[in-house]
Structure 1
Amino acid sequence: RRASGPLYEMLNPSQMTQEQRCQSFSVANLEKKEFYSPLYPNNYPNNTECILRLEAEHGYVIRVDFRDYFHLEPSNKCEFDVLEVRDGAHGYSDLMGRFCGDNFPPIITSKDRYLWLKFISDDTIEYRGFRAVFSYIENKALDRPYIEPCRYYLHGEQGKISSEDVEEERLEYSRQHNHPIDCTWVVTVKARRRIFMSFKKFKLEKPNECDMNYIDIFEEQTDLKNRVKHYCGSVADPFATNGTILQFRYFAIPSALNTKFVAWFTAFRERTSEGENSQCNDEEYDCDDARCIDISLRCNNVTNCQHEYDEEGCVVSIGTGDGEGGNDRA
């Protein structure tokens, strides 16, 4: 067992940051290939939420085994304290199990090279926790080559997210190896801004069942509890984030790769009811709904205001039909 460090001797859990509480869980001991409940070998603290992502090299899977003891607050559905394990790199990956009480979880083996784990404790009873060891095992059944994760990074006053961003090489990989497309666009805007997003095109290829072909929207956290939108079927309504980060995830099985979508994001500032930020400034356009956008977005043939006021009174020029092109101010 690990000895208590100076941090634990100087601070009690109520004085620690969430990062300090989570260190023994969220930062795995790669030399020993172990991870532990928060503050191990002491009882874990209450009101704590920690995330760990384990990653193996391509061609290997991860196996996790719990040793010595496993003791979290017991409950019928693990609704108080829980260890959640998902088969993948993210909080939206397939659930492998939710574990609590004093029974050891089974040996856990990933299907691919990632495992995502979350520890949560509520505001009452604290228990001993656990020690877990992990190992990397060659995946001899894997018959597809390595491909980089599908991620795109966007920033600025506005931008477009499109199914056409996905490279043909990646689509062909999906077809050839019967592997789903799973792409994420990460949008970041300036501090004190929020993000408005609207779709210009949304057509999911059949099968358009909600677990085979869909778009998910997250903000900073990508677990299902923090999912903002789940688009499937035929309708995609506009929305606005609460913060400066938007994560747009597109998932499709190989038979649904003809899905087409175009979405535009816009950075906006929300006017306050009073004070110096209660009005849009000279470099902003007032959407007349308590939102200010960059003045350059006026008459650009893209709906940047939720009520489309930024395109009123504009002279329409030829565009592409998906929100691109240019307008001139009348």
Structure 2
Amino acid sequence: MLVELVFCLLLAVALLGPDLRAQAMKGVKCGGVLSAPSGNFSSPNFPSLYPYNTECSWLIVVAEGSSVLLTFHAFDLEYHDTCGFDFLEIYNGASGDQGNLLGRFCGRVPPPPFTSSWHVMSVVFHSDKHVASRGFSAAYQKDVCGGVLTGLSGVLASPEYPNNYPNNVECRWVIRAAGPATIKLVFVDFQVEGSEQCTYDYVAVLGGPGPAREHHYCGSARPPTLVSLSHELQVVFKSDFNIGGRGFKAYYFSGECQEVYTAVRGNFSSPQYPSSYPNNIRCHWTIRLPPGYRVKVFFLDLELEEPNSLTRTCDFDHLAAFDGASEEAPLLGTWCGHHLPPPVTSSHNQLLIVLHTDRSTTHRGFSVAYIGVVPMNVSCTRTDFQILISAQALAPLERTKVYLGSRSCAAQEMGSNFRIQARFDTCGTESQRRNNTSVIVSVLYIDFSAGGQEDTHEYEVRCEPRRKEASAHLLSGSHWLGPYAATAEHLQEAPPRDEVEALEGPVAMVAQDTSDIVFLGLCILAGVLMVIAIVVLMLL
């Protein structure tokens, strides 16, 4: 008990010290630290008129691992369109951090119930020098079951998780995103009493009105990742009178904290960028391209909390990339601080970016751009280029949208592939000297333009004939790459072996390099003719 008291006092001094000093100067007794499991508090003089020029801060601290439910019994403050005069502010954590602000309220409409995403919640009451009203009365309770969740992200868990949940409970959470945004729900642990129809203990997810949008889950198999059909998602947990389990834990992501990108290229950034991102959030951005593509991500800006000074690891705010659609996919990298990472590339057509922030210290955040890397097999001989691209990767593009140098050198359809084979004296190819090496170059165009929107990707196709080595590099359309636009960034690594085999399999359309054989044959023929000529001269 003594330890908890000391902790509360230290936390109050650290987070509310300036506010408490201001209250003492104004001579109004209000605010403080509320550390009991539940309680009530109200504006000064409630239900009489509150005083002018008053500011009160309450810090609600419950046991770590718990959450706080805040509800209002009465609410009557001076009204203003933007609540610029008298107001009440509710914070998911410390009141000094605008990233934790859940809302500012005034007038006579009480705020909705709020559930914190951790064990600390702050409430600030402010009045100016004009117009007073009755004020407010509120109650809080720890370890609540259910509530309204309005943050960009948060955690849901069954009562007493990870210990067994109690019998005869019913919890209802309403997750509400701002504006028209959707909500993603990801279960990370799940163990609920199982039955054939999930009639005993269950978790129900309701994406909107109507039974067709309701799903029930039980047993030990984790439910799939769910995305709401609107800006609201309801989660209900119910247990009967016997047999329990560990329960469940799930993360939710909403608004600008969860997006799915399907365009061939694009940009996105952290919430509120370039202003400071919020505290205590976990955000998911999924890039999902058509089968056959790979995803390459460029980091245009990065300013997160610095790494741990002792371990030099990203233990606080950090950004991570996963080679797939979930955090269970292979990790491509984790970054923090302000040094720009190099580009990362997925091995398949999906990549997940995750931003995790803790409960203190925020910065500008990040900005990234991505492009879908078209898997292609580029090769060359001493005389020509051969390019193979899977038609599935470029669906629904027509072959005429893929061409080398000019539209007269469009690709041909051969089986399931687009094929371009062009001699070095055609299709806009030219000889250049780079790094004291003679190379043949041309430009490959892939035209994604649609609906009047110009979108053509241009790759420089390069061949070193002596070594018969070929490569492709992004040339234009790279204004969105920020600092990377200054150079022709090498986007076209060799495709994975299985893709190469698919491209070169039953419909192997790359012509064999016969130039060496022809050259050797000519040499032999010349030698034979020379011998014949010498013999003839000797006979004469």
Name the TM-score, length of structure 1 as normaliser: 0.43
Which structure exhibits the higher relative contact order, with contacts defined as CA atoms closer than 8 Å and separated by 6 or more residues? 1
Under a length normalisation based on structure 2, what TM-score does the superposition of the two structures give? 0.28
- Flag the structure with larger Rg: 2
